[in-house]
Amino acid sequence: MWYKGGNLSYFDSDLQSIIASNTVITSLDLEPATNAYGISWVQTGQSGGFDYRLEIVPPAEIQSTVAQDGAESRIITAASFDAKGQAYLVSYGWQGDRTTAYDVKTVIVAPQDAATAAIQLAGAGYAISAFGGNDTRGYVLVGTKVVGDTLPRPVNVTTPAGYTPASNRDSGNFTQVLALHEPYGSPSAGYTSIQEQ
């Protein structure tokens, strides 16, 4: 795992320095109010394999954009909003498989509704492949599944109200897919954590 953050005015050039065929961006956070950004990625030791794409679209076009990406065998791995409210969507295709089609569903929610939205997506068989946004524009969750897959995905949820373990715990291997910390004094103050199997 690699991480980088800095002044938002350097975002484009810093992003270009990260992009490579052996790199997958896993998280993107644009913070216009503080003129900052944060990004994380994974990198394999092998060269080649991943086909990067950045799409910048208005919120009303997020669902149609990600649906087209899924039909083209691409997975959205990161999402955020800029100062104008445009959605930044990072997707990847894998050169070793250009035939698997994905169903993709997105929802944009207020912070206090992120856990409920993640549970609903997982219950319909979607893996949360991207999560991002802010308190002003909302948070976008991108659910992805192979076309026709309906098997629910178990999730563990921790919110300020408590902990809800996955109903089906066939495996102890759960991965953090959503973490949202609200500042003290906000209506949903606390830490929301979603772990998906």
pLDDT block averages, 10 residues each, the chain of length 197: 93 94 93 93 84 96 97 96 96 89 96 86 91 90 92 75 62 56 55 59
Predicted pLDDT of residue 171: 55
Predicted pLDDT of residue 53: 97
Predicted pLDDT of residue 179: 60
> DSSP for 14-54?
HHHHH--TTEEEEEEEEEGGGTEEEEEEEE-SSS--EEEEE
Asked whether 139 and 114 are in contact (CB, 8 A), the reply is yes
Closest to 91 measured CA to CA, from 18, 157, 26, 171: 26
Element (H, E) at 120: helix 114-123
Predicted pLDDT of residue 118: 87
Predicted pLDDT of residue 122: 87
Predicted pLDDT of residue 144: 95
Predicted pLDDT of residue 173: 57
Specify the pTM: 0.84
Cβ-proximal residues to 170 (8 Å cutoff; 6+ apart), any chain? 154, 197
Predicted pLDDT of residue 153: 81
Domain boundaries, the chain: 2-150
Predicted pLDDT of residue 140: 95
Predicted pLDDT of residue 45: 78
